[in-house]
């Protein structure tokens, strides 16, 4: 696996460095081993579409690319609150943002001046704050975390950059207690979806798959 990752990193470094790469999709099917996105992707200035599945985001201190990204799709990714906020803010041309089942992050802050469509799905409690999105037309939020033991994975670590095993997660979280508290979470969910910008009058906010 390590040899393949190094080879793939070299391929990405070459593609991102040529100056012609516009669309990039990375689907990692090794679910228990997130692929760490290499720094070369964050430096790519020509990307207009970036789709990631089962990848880990570790943003470099200085970002030199991603300004041209218009569509950003993050599915089953691992990212800290800070890294998620930075990559969203960096994609200043982004019109479509999809976040599906993000791990580790618990607070999503969105500042995206060009954003028109927002889709967020989560299987664990999540705070979403849209602070700057003057062009936002549609926002869809899907929440489903009734079964607590299925809402956490080896990638859900908030205070560490490492991953825990399933047995360690079971020790850290009392799933039966979390299950009993699902009714209390119902009253708090409405607070977690927070807009501090004015949507256009015709803009719909759609809540789907509201399963508690």
Query: Once rounded to an integer, what is the mean pLDDT over residues 151-165?
Result: 53
Beta strand 78-79 pairing with 103-104: parallel
Q: Which candidate, 88, 120, 115, places its Cα nearest to that of 102? A: 120
Q: Which residues pair with 208 in a beta bridge?
A: 142
Q: Is the pLDDT of residue 178 over 70?
A: no
Q: How many whole angstroms separate alpha carbon 139 and alpha carbon 117? A: 6
Count how many domains the chain has.
1
Q: How many whole angstroms separate alpha carbon 132 and alpha carbon 195? A: 9
Query: Once rounded to an integer, what is the mean pLDDT over residues 156-184?
Result: 52
Q: Is the pLDDT of residue 133 over 70?
A: yes
Quote the pLDDT of residue 200. Answer: 47
CB distance 56 to 79 below 8 Å: yes
Quote the pLDDT of residue 112. Answer: 96
- Per DSSP, 179 falls in state H
Q: Domain range for residue 99?
A: 2-211
Quote the pLDDT of residue 123. Answer: 81
Residue 61 CB coordination number (10 Å): 4
């Amino acid at each position: 696996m390590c040899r393949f990752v190094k080879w793939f990193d070299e391929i990405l470094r070459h593609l991102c460095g040529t100056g012609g790469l516009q669309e990039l999709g990375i689907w990692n099917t090794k679910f228990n081993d997130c692929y760490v996105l290499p720094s070369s992707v964050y430096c790519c200035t020509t990307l207009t579409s970036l789709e990631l599945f089962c990848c880990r985001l570790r943003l470099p201190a200085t970002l030199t690319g991603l300004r041209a990204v218009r569509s950003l799709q993050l599915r089953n990714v691992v990212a800290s609150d800070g890294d998620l906020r930075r990559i969203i803010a960096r994609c200043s041309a982004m019109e479509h943002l999809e976040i599906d089942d993000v791990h580790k992050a618990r607070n999503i802050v969105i500042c995206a001046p060009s954003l028109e469509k927002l889709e967020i799905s989560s299987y664990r409690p999540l705070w979403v704050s849209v602070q700057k999105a003057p062009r936002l037309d549609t926002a869809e939020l899907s929440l489903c975390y009734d079964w607590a033991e299925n809402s956490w994975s080896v990638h859900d670590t908030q205070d560490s950059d490492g991953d825990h095993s399933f047995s360690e997660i079971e020790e850290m979280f009392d799933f039966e207690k979390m299950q009993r508290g699902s009714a209390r979470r119902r009253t708090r969910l409405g607070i977690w979806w927070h807009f501090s910008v004015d949507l256009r009058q015709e803009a719909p906010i759609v809540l789907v798959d509201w399963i508690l």
